[in-house]
Chains A and B, each alone.
Chain A
């Protein structure tokens, strides 16, 4: 049985695609490079790992091309899967192509990505323009992406649904002093179409037996609009180190509000080695149509028991070590950077109960669910 709890592409795919243009500070094109990443997520019964390879190559002084290959290999036995299905494995593969065009103080970026797995396909196009002004102290970026998803279902060849996603971004960054930067980002995302998961179920009290519950398919609205605004600041300390602070506010048409706060510190040990650490806290409240246990079958128009739509909070403690070698002795390589990053994530749910918990619990009295996960990333960037 396929996924009920994977790292879905969808908007995440948009992020990956849009990020192809992200290292582009306005008015300069990125250096030719190869970016190789191994990523692994392990927690909550899910193990997702795989490689990512990105190659960037300039074509003349004004054009830079990128191509990326990315894989998620999924082994799933999460609480959702165990409640109503059987553990499974599957793979998602993603290809992306992009081009950046430099014209005076502006960079125009175009991109396309294609993500596929056995029951989900997503295609996205993206355009962004980044304009630098005020002597390079200010940068404005505008971006737009459009995604077309096809939702299938393993074991049901006749099932096919669509979801369209639109993504609008506006960013502003400002150099405040010779040691500080400020960034302000606004992003609006709209989704239309089939937004639920065809496998996921929600539960309701069994009318024939109040000590038991039954499952029914989830049913979501066919549109969603979200707005996120974030402010982040970066400050260079009197020694070779930096501190970063971020705050993000999020709200959407499903009644969810969320806050994210992050503090990070990077410490240069010497010219080549640096260490970093960060602390992140996230909290959200529940979607209007979410319930852990519905009182009876079809008790309301929309029904969701996706734990990501529950009220929850999450904490991340991140650490990393970076080795950077400029003007390397390796032929053809101008700069090398190797990073090993290990993050510990912890999530606590305020209204999602663990139906797999051992013991005799009445419906709605099971312990609240929580889990933690380790995310490991090994990254090698070679500039040539």
Chain B
């Protein structure tokens, strides 16, 4: 009977490879500016509707005890 191998997750292999390749050198930004079309699409915005989004935070804060960390900025900057 053939011994069963434990499959190593592919992401773990990739991460190890990245670390080995980078070694002591500086990690470079891996998404180049010209590769950010999709990220810049409005469908990828966390605050696409401007004040209309902030209004919903206001509604929930009035009806629920939880508050804060609502997020909602374009880059997920955490300022809302």
On A, residues with C-beta under 8 Å from B are: 6-8, 11-12, 15-16, 18-19, 21-26, 33, 35, 37, 39, 41, 52, 54, 68, 70, 109, 128, 130, 132, 134-137, 139-141, 143, 167, 169-175, 177-179, 181-189, 226-230, 232, 234, 236, 240-242, 244, 246, 248, 250, 252, 254, 256, 258, 260, 266-268, 274, 282, 284, 287, 308-309, 312, 314, 320, 322, 324, 337, 339, 341, 343, 345, 347, 375, 377, 379, 381
Q: Which A residues lie within 8 Å of B54 (CB)? A: 15-16, 19, 22
Q: Given A16-B54, A232-B76, A377-B55, are A177 and B31 neighbors across the interface (CB < 8 Å)?
A: yes
Please, how many angstroms separate the alpha-carbon atoms of A135 and B36 in the complex?
A: 12
Residues in B with CB closer than 8 Å to A381 are 49-50
How far, in Å, is A266 (CB) from chain B's closest CB? 4
Query: Which residues on the B side are within 8 Å of A52 (C-beta)?
Result: 51, 55
| Complex contact A339–B62 (CB within 8 A) | no
A274 contacts which chain B residues (CB < 8 A)? 42-43
In the complex the two chains form, is B68's CB within 8 Å of A232's CB?
no
Q: Which of B29, B58, B72, B77 has the most CB of A within 10 A?
A: B77
Check if B66 sits within 8 Å of A22, measured CB to CB.
no
- Decide yes or no: A136 and B47 within 8 Å by CB, A15-B80, A236-B41 being known contacts: no
| Inter-chain contacts of B75 with A (CB < 8 A) | 25-26, 132, 139, 173, 181, 183
Q: A240 to chain B: which residues have CB within 8 Å? A: 41, 43
Residues in A whose Cβ lies below 8 Å from that of B67: 11, 15, 187, 189, 226, 228, 250
Chain A interface, >50% SS class = strand
Complex-state Cα separation, A258 to B73, whole angstroms: 23
* CA A52 to CA B28, docked complex, whole Å: 43
Whether the Cβ atoms of B69 and A37 lie closer than 8 Å is no
Residue numbers of B with Cβ under 8 A of A are 28-31, 33, 35-39, 41-44, 46-80
Contacts of A143 in B (CB 8 A): 78-79
Q: How far is the CB of B38 from chain A (nearest CB, A)?
A: 4
Inter-chain contact B51/A136, CB cutoff 8 Å: no
Q: Which residues of A contact B71 (CB under 8 A)?
A: 171, 183, 185, 230, 232, 246
Tell me the smallest distance from the CB of B58 to a CB of chain A, in Å: 4
| Pairwise interchain contact A282-B29, C-beta atoms closer than 8 A | no
Can you give 28 A-B contacts (C-beta < 8 A)?
A11-B68, A16-B58, A19-B53, A21-B80, A22-B79, A23-B47, A23-B50, A24-B73, A41-B59, A132-B75, A137-B31, A139-B76, A141-B78, A171-B76, A173-B76, A175-B36, A181-B44, A183-B46, A183-B71, A185-B70, A186-B78, A226-B68, A229-B69, A282-B60, A322-B49, A345-B59, A379-B49, A379-B50
Cβ contact within 8 Å between B59 and A284? no
CB pair A250–B44 under 8 Å, yes or no, is no
Contact partners of B41 in chain A: CB under 8 A: 236, 240, 242, 268
Count of CB-CB pairs between chains A and B under 8 Å: 248
Q: Which of A181, A246, A284 has the most CB of B within 10 A?
A: A181
**Does B62 lie within 8 Å of A309, measured CB to CB?**
no
Q: What's the minimum C-beta distance from A243 to chain B, rounded to whole angstroms?
A: 10
Closest to B80 in A: A22
A171 & B66 in contact (Cβ 8 Å cutoff): no
- Which residues of chain B are near A39, meaning CB under 8 Å? 52, 55
CA of A248 to CA of B50, assembled, Å: 21
A236 to B39, Cβ gap below 8 A?
Answer: yes
The docked-state distance in angstroms from the alpha carbon of A169 to that of B63 is: 22
Q: Which residue of B lies closest to A18 (CB)?
A: B80
Task: Judge whether B58 and A178 touch: CB under 8 Å.
Answer: no
Chain B residue with minimal CB distance to A233? B76
Which residues of chain A are within 8 angstroms of B49 by Cβ–Cβ distance? 320, 322, 339, 341, 377, 379, 381
How many Å lie between the Cα of A209 and that of B7 in the bound state? 71
Complex Cα gap A144–B46 (Å):
21
The 6 closest A-B pairs by CB, nearest first: A171-B78, A183-B76, A135-B29, A173-B76, A187-B68, A22-B80
Quote the shortest CB–CB distance from A283 to chain B (angstroms).
Answer: 10
Asked if residues A130 and B79 are in contact (CB atoms below 8 Å), the reply is: yes
Does the CB pair B57–A256 fall under 8 Å?
A: no
Among B31, B43, B65, residue most surrounded by chain A Cβ atoms (within 10 Å) = B65
